[in-house]
């Protein structure tokens, strides 16, 4: 793919505009210096639209845009289950999980674990998340982003790594979460607009210029197998999406862990001025998740007709981008960059928050602006480390996403079990919590080696159940009395507004209609 001067001009204009806006929204009133609440939680003043947009901007990156389109080229719209089920998960998080975190007035997930268990659980999980975030998540976002730039525009991998990392640092280091979240509305607007545009043009191409609606009908008629949402055991794609597990099984555990107990994601909701504002923001994100398959998955399905002989599935999205006219191509390319750098900036801020608030602050007496300075140093250090280790860690993997699954997938069941036991079983002890977290890695590795034919999603569900049993068992051996810091869930306000309830029912109805239509 070749970017013309006009396309490059559009990308450059976007970059300058974003940097200017980030600095503008980060400014402080005369005489006020940023404190930890300002930097890490945007002064607990984020409006609902910023929360929702930032949740999506943090979530959508190169692996979704390039990787999910490639998966759609292979297996069809079923890969959209990750997005659609995430929408329902967000509703659950907003109503039943988030109110607990906001009631405890926390900065981080490890801080909550100390409040519920003890400092050992906090320190262990803080170190665990820092390792995962720096060497798995941040590194993979950066590497996949550089690969996307290389695939789409031929940008050298080393140049891409440096450019993405430094750009993310330039617009996020000064303002912290406020700069990231308030500019994310621009990022998401560009992402949605560019995505709808490329979906429309690719569907129009499928119908030979008869329009996008005609193109969609052509897709359904010519590739009906790509509109199966539930795979049976005889499907070649069953190992990736094992039947009803996408609705009732392990995908719930993956989604709850990611959307409910992940600092990288939940930090935006923690920055809301109150619970109702946070819930509105999460509901907004849920509606955006329902939209994502249209702008990410459909172009991949269209590419199955437009380019059926691709040498690799990940070429699907770049191939349909070739259909875009000059100037518009630059805009969509800017949208791709927006998705990447927003995810990088969000991850950097979460790394800084956990290190500063859970480790550095815990072992020093530092407060105020010094914590902000520490956060900036940690953010920059993390992105530099990621730039240096990305190629050595990921360069030899045929699929970088495999790297993410192999590491985070081992711990996802334990993290989810650790929190849910803490929420709903008051007799869970600190030792039971630690055993649950450790058991996740041990059990996941054991099943991977002993039962290689077990689909990944089913393995996550099975290990989650066993982790719950481990936590209960270890707690029972200690006497299983109610923990002194156990959560009295009856005192948690889980009420939601009529508007929220109507929105939640709308999402449930849309999901039911989708699966009833393409079961």
Residue 445 has pLDDT above 60, yes or no: yes
Amino acid 144: pLDDT: 83
Side-chain-side CA neighbours of 79 within 13 Å: the count stands at 27
Candidate from 134-143, 337-346, 393-402 with smallest mean pLDDT? 393-402
519, exposed or middle or buried, with CB in 10 Å at 0-12, 13-18, 19+? exposed
Residue 479 has pLDDT above 90, yes or no: no
In whole angstroms, give the CA distance from residue 167 to residue 163.
Answer: 6
Q: Note the pLDDT tens digit of each residue in 16-65.
A: 999 999 989 888 777 677 889 999 998 899 999 999 999 999 999 877 88
| Phi-psi category of residue 105: left, alpha or beta, with phi > 0 → left and psi -120 to 50 → alpha | left
What lies within 8 Å, CB to CB, of 327 at 6+ separation is 4, 6, 7, 10
More confident residue, 93 or 143: 93
Residue 402 has pLDDT above 70, yes or no: no
| Phi, psi (rounded to 5 degrees) for 396 | -95, 0
What DSSP character marks residue 395? T
In whole angstroms, give the CA distance from residue 515 to residue 519.
Answer: 5
Neighbours of 213 (CB within 10 A): 12
What DSSP character marks residue 65? I
| Phi, psi (rounded to 5 degrees) for 228 | -90, 125
For helices 369-394 and 157-172, angle between their N-to-C axes, nearest 10 degrees: 170
Neighbours of 185 (CB within 10 A): 17
Residue 1 has pLDDT above 70, yes or no: no
Q: Note the pLDDT tens digit of each residue in 161-199.
A: 999 999 999 989 989 999 999 999 988 998 899 889 999
CB 218 within 8 A of CB 305: yes
Average pLDDT over residues 194-206: 93
Q: Which band of pLDDT confidence, cut at 50, 70 and 90, is reported for residue 369? A: confident
Looking at every residue in the chain, the average pLDDT score rounds to 91
In whole angstroms, give the CA distance from residue 52 to residue 480.
Answer: 40
Percentage of the chain modeled with pLDDT above 90: 70
Amino acid 403: pLDDT: 54
The domains located in the chain, with CATH, are 5-33+42-390 (1.20.1730.10), 397-487 (no CATH)
Write b or e for each residue in 317-353: b if 16 or more Cβ atoms lie within 10 A of its Cβ, otherwise e.
Answer: bbbbbebbeeebbbbbbbbbbbbbbbbbbbbbbbbbb
Amino acid 461: pLDDT: 95
Q: Note the pLDDT tens digit of each residue in 309-366.
A: 988 888 899 889 888 888 888 988 888 888 899 999 999 999 999 999 999 988 887 8
Distance of CA 238 to the CA centre of its chain: 24
Average pLDDT over residues 435-462: 94
Amino acid 28: pLDDT: 76
What lies within 8 Å, CB to CB, of 418 at 6+ separation is 113, 121, 125, 261, 433, 436, 437, 467, 471
What lies within 8 Å, CB to CB, of 345 at 6+ separation is 168, 169, 171, 172, 179, 180
Task: Output the CA–CA distances (angstroms, integers) from residue 32 to 24, 38, 41, 113, 154, in the order listed.
Answer: 15, 11, 16, 32, 45
Percentage of the chain modeled with pLDDT above 70: 97
Average pLDDT over residues 53-80: 90
Amino acid 506: pLDDT: 98
Amino acid 399: pLDDT: 54
| Phi, psi (rounded to 5 degrees) for 482 | -60, 130
Candidate from 219-233, 266-280, 474-488, 496-510 with smallest mean pLDDT? 474-488
| Phi, psi (rounded to 5 degrees) for 272 | -75, 155
Q: Note the pLDDT tens digit of each residue in 253-271.
A: 999 999 999 999 999 999 9
Average pLDDT over residues 107-120: 94
Greatest alpha-carbon pair distance for the chain in Å reads: 71
331 three-state secondary structure: helix
Residue 376 has pLDDT above 80, yes or no: yes
| Phi-psi category of residue 176: left, alpha or beta, with phi > 0 → left and psi -120 to 50 → alpha | left
Per residue, the 3-state secondary structure of 333-383, as one string, reads: HHHHHHHHHHHHHHHHHHHHHHHHHHHHHHHCCCCCHHHHHHHHHHHHHHH
What lies within 8 Å, CB to CB, of 507 at 6+ separation is 87, 88, 91, 286, 287, 290
Average pLDDT over residues 482-497: 88
Task: Output the CA–CA distances (angstroms, integers) from residue 397 to 38, 109, 400, 403, 515, in the order listed.
Answer: 39, 31, 6, 7, 34
Amino acid 79: pLDDT: 93
Q: Which band of pLDDT confidence, cut at 50, 70 and 90, is reported for residue 502? A: very high
CB 505 within 8 A of CB 86: no
| Phi-psi category of residue 455: left, alpha or beta, with phi > 0 → left and psi -120 to 50 → alpha | beta
Average pLDDT over residues 358-380: 90
Amino acid 31: pLDDT: 66
What lies within 8 Å, CB to CB, of 103 at 6+ separation is 492, 493
What DSSP character marks residue 427? T
Taking alpha carbons only, the member of 451, 442, 383 closest to residue 411 is 442
CB 439 within 8 A of CB 424: no
Q: Note the pLDDT tens digit of each residue in 139-169.
A: 988 988 898 888 778 889 999 999 999 999 9
Residue 86 has pLDDT above 90, yes or no: yes
Average pLDDT over residues 195-211: 94
Where would I find the beta strands (DSSP E) of 385-503? none
Q: Which band of pLDDT confidence, cut at 50, 70 and 90, is reported for residue 400? A: low
For helices 275-306 and 48-59, angle between their N-to-C axes, nearest 10 degrees: 40
Average pLDDT over residues 378-406: 80
Average pLDDT over residues 8-22: 91
Amino acid 63: pLDDT: 72
In whole angstroms, give the CA distance from residue 185 to residue 51.
Answer: 9
């Amino acid at each position: 793919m070749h970017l013309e001067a006009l396309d490059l001009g559009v990308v450059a204009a976007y970059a300058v505009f974003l940097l200017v806006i980030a600095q503008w929204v980060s400014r402080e009133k005369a005489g006020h210096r940023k404190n930890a609440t300002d930097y890490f939680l945007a002064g607990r003043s984020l409006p609902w639209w910023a929360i929702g947009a930032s949740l999506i901007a943090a979530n959508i990156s190169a692996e979704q845009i390039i990787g999910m389109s490639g998966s759609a080229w292979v297996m069809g719209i079923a890969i959209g289950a990750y997005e659609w089920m995430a929408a329902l998960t967000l509703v659950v998080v907003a109503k039943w999980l988030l109110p607990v975190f906001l009631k405890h007035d926390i900065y981080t997930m490890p801080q909550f674990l100390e409040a519920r268990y003890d400092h050992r659980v906090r320190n262990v999980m803080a170190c665990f998340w820092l390792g995962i975030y720096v060497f798995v998540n941040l590194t993979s976002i950066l590497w996949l982003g550089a690969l996307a730039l290389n695939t789409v525009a031929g940008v050298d991998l080393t140049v891409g790594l440096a450019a993405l990392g430094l750009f993310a640092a330039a617009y996020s280091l000064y303002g912290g979460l406020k700069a990231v979240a308030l500019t994310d509305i621009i990022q998401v607007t560009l992402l949605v607009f560019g995505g709808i545009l490329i979906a429309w043009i690719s569907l129009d191409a499928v119908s030979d210029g008869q329009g996008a609606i005609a193109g969609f009908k052509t897709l359904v008629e010519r590739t009906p197998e790509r509109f199966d949402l539930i795979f049976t055991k005889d499907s070649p794609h069953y190992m990736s999406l094992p039947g009803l597990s996408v609705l009732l099984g392990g995908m719930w555990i993956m989604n709850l862990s990611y959307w409910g107990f992940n600092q990288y994601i939940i930090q935006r909701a923690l920055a809301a001025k109150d619970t109702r504002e946070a819930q509105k923001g999460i509901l907004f994100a849920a509606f955006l998740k329902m939209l994502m398959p249209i702008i990410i998955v459909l172009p991949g399905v269209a590419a199955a007709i437009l380019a059926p002989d691709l040498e690799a599935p990940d070429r699907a999205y770049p191939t349909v981008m070739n259909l875009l006219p000059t100037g518009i191509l630059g805009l969509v390319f800017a949208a791709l960059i927006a998705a990447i750098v927003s995810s990088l900036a969000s991850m950097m801020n979460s790394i800084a928050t956990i290190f500063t608030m859970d480790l550095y602050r815990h072992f020093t007496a530092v407060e105020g602006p010094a914590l902000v300075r520490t956060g900036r140093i940690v953010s920059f250090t993390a992105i530099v480390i990621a730039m240096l280790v990305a190629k050595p860690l990921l360069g030899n993997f045929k699929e970088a996403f495999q790297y993410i699954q192999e590491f985070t997938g081992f711990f996802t069941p334990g993290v989810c079990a650790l929190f849910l036991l803490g929420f709903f079983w008051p007799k869970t002890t600190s030792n039971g919590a630690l055993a649950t977290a450790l058991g996740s890695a041990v059990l996941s590795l054991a099943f991977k080696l002993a039962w290689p034919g077990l689909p990944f999603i089913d393995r996550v569900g099975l290990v989650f159940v066993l982790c719950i049993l481990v936590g209960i068992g270890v707690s029972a051996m200690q006497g299983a009395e109610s923990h002194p810091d156990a959560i009295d869930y009856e005192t948690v306000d889980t009420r939601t507004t009529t508007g929220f309830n109507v929105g939640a029912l709308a999402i449930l109805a849309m999901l039911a209609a989708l699966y009833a239509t393409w079961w």
